[in-house]
Amino acid sequence: MTGDSPDQVTRTWSAARGPAAHVPRRQLQSLQAVRAVAALLVVMFHMNVHTLPDTLSAPSLWRGFDMGYAGVEVFFVLSGFIMFYVHSGDFGRPDRFWSYLSKRFTRIYPFFWLVLVLIVLLRLGSGGEVPGALTLAVSAMLLPFKELHVLGVQWTLSFEMLFYLIFGLLILNLRIGLLLGGLWFAICAILALIGSSTTAILFLFSAYNLLFLLGLLAAMLWPRVTSGAPVLFGLGIMIFLVTGLGEALGGVEYYKPLRTLLYGVGGAFIIAALAALENAARLRVPQFLVFLGNASYAIYLIHIAAMSITAFVLKKLGLGDLPTPVLAILLFVGAMLAGGLLHVFAEKPIISALRRGRIRRAAAT
């Protein structure tokens, strides 16, 4: 989903203390690889659970792909990691708050608005129902009312924005930020244990918010992961896959907050281990994964519409009865192409233009 590109993720972990915790100022392209894999998991989930059976009346490709929704959990952990890694040097620096908030706002909203317009136009072109003014307003502001969302995946961005606001308190005032942030996470943990049925509470204090905490902890601890990084990586993969495949293939029924946290712990181990391996020059990330990581936000926002269009074209061409693996490949390629093209020709130019604007405004002051 969202996040900074490798050239932006170069801030030293300045909140740590002591020589053992020093982290060289460097790019961590492994974070982009994790983001790419998370986006691909979500694509596989929607393809397997929705597009193949619902749009093409084809069987699912493999039940194991049903765990692909957990890519969202990985995104949340990664967001916590990156926010600490990039902005820990801003803690207690209120003069940097508006710059921080501006970067978060411009990273998420402008491109999201473009995709929102595209989806509405696609609905108009296909004769679908046009969203009302209230629905459009709620969707455009990323308010946490899922029943009024135009894009089915945008609910995750509401959680992202909530976390960015809470995290920003650490920049405004470190002590107050630690107090309120700690209280927020504590309430989330308590309600995850006892459960809650109130909609507002489910959003403000959801167990999903604890995933950001796991990302923060991973960002604090990864510099201390040295020779044990491969073991930590293997343990993270095992926790993640056992949790997901146990549910998808083994019929395990989890208490949802527990399932969320298991995915989060696995994701945090994976991210910390990969960061440590790359920092020690023991890992090289393929450039295609870096590109997909950079394009993950575009892929995430457009993949459902892209697969629906691909399925429509396949049916129009009389190819809807192709073998399921072939259909799956074509749907997957359609989602990747749409996301990649949007990233290159829309998202990158928007981000570049907004960044140039910030630089000019900063120079003027």
Give the pLDDT confidence of 158-174 residue by residue, as tens digits: 999 999 999 999 999 99
pLDDT digit string, tens, across residues 241-263:
999 999 999 999 999 999 999 99
Note the pLDDT of residue 202: 84
Contact (Cβ atoms closer than 8 angstroms) between residue 344 and residue 302: no
Helix (H) / strand (E) containing 162? helix 155-172
Contacting residues for 147 by C-beta, under 8 A, at least 6 apart:
none
Note the pLDDT of residue 127: 87
pLDDT digit string, tens, across residues 94-124:
999 999 999 999 999 999 999 999 999 999 9
Q: How confident is the model at residue 4 (pLDDT cuts 50, 70, 90)?
A: low
Mean pLDDT of the chain: 91
Note the pLDDT of residue 20: 36
Q: DSSP states of 3-25 as a string? A: ---TTT-----TT--SGGG---S
Please check the confidence at residue 208 and state whether its pLDDT lies above 50.
Answer: yes
pLDDT average, residue stretch 285-308: 97
And the tokens for 347? 């998202």
SS (H, E, C) 101-133: HHHHHHHHHHHHHHHHHHHHHHHHHCCCCCCCH
Q: Establish how many alpha carbons lie within 13 A of residue 56's alpha carbon, considering only the half-sphere containing its beta carbon.
A: 35
Give the Cα separation of 198 and 176 in Å (integer): 27
Return the domain boundaries, the chain: 19-364
Give the Cα separation of 66 and 45 in Å (integer): 5
**Least confidently predicted of 18-27, 76-85, 196-205, 210-219:** 18-27
Contacting residues for 97 by C-beta, under 8 A, at least 6 apart:
168, 171, 172
Buried (b) or exposed (e) across 306-341, using 16+ Cβ within 10 A? bbbbbbeebeeeeebebebeebbebbbebbbebbbe
Q: What percent of the chain is modeled with pLDDT above 90?
A: 85
Contact (Cβ atoms closer than 8 angstroms) between residue 342 and residue 298: yes
Q: How confident is the model at residue 362 (pLDDT cuts 50, 70, 90)?
A: confident
pLDDT digit string, tens, across residues 62-99:
999 999 999 999 999 999 999 999 999 999 999 999 99
Please check the confidence at residue 11 and state whether its pLDDT lies above 50.
Answer: no
Give the Cα separation of 92 and 85 in Å (integer): 15
User: Which position has the higher pLDDT, 196 or 319?
Assistant: 319
Please check the confidence at residue 19 and state whether its pLDDT lies above 80.
Answer: no
**Dihedral over alpha carbons 344, 350, 352, 356 (to 10 degrees):** 170
Note the pLDDT of residue 13: 37
